[in-house]
Amino acid sequence: ASVRLPKVTAEELVKHNKQNDCWMVLFGQVYDITQYLEYHPGGVPELMRAAGTDATGLFNQYHSWVNYNSMLKACLVGRFEGDTTKLP
């Protein structure tokens, strides 16, 4: 299924770094978490640290056991195409 997802470049991803337009990469997948933000048990500011960038490291640091895959199913917008180490 993931092969059918649109590709999202770094240039596109970094534009969505605002609370009312917030995308992030998790394990290579790109999520629009704008609607999820206010439901994050760790709070909005905490989650906003990963806005417009790769959240995988922080996610694993705080709660690698959380089932983001099922929680964010409706938020999936694409798969990241590029080098996550070059993201902000």
To ligand HEM, the closest distance from the beta carbon of 23 in angstroms equals 10
Alpha-carbon 62 to chain mean position: 15
Query: Rounded to the nearest 5°, which phi and psi values hold at 74?
Result: -75, -10
**Residue 58 interacts with ligand HEM (CB under 6 A)?**
yes
d(CA 85, CA 65): 23
Q: Which amino acid is at 70?
A: S
Contacts of 1 (CB under 8 A, 6+ apart): none
Query: Which string of x and - marks every residue 7-36 that binds ligand HEM (by CB under 6 A)?
Result: -------------------x------x---
Scanning 8-16, 58-66, 77-85 for contacts with ligand HEM by CB under 6 A, the matching segment is 58-66
User: Which residue stretch of 4-12, 15-23, 41-49, 77-85 sits at the interface with ligand HEM (rule: CB under 6 A)?
Assistant: 41-49
Q: Which two tokens stand for residue 85?
A: 């180490």
Distance CA 70, CA 15 (A): 25
Which residues form the interface with ligand HEM (CB under 6 A)? 26, 33, 40-42, 46-47, 49-50, 55, 58-59, 62-63, 66, 68, 71-72
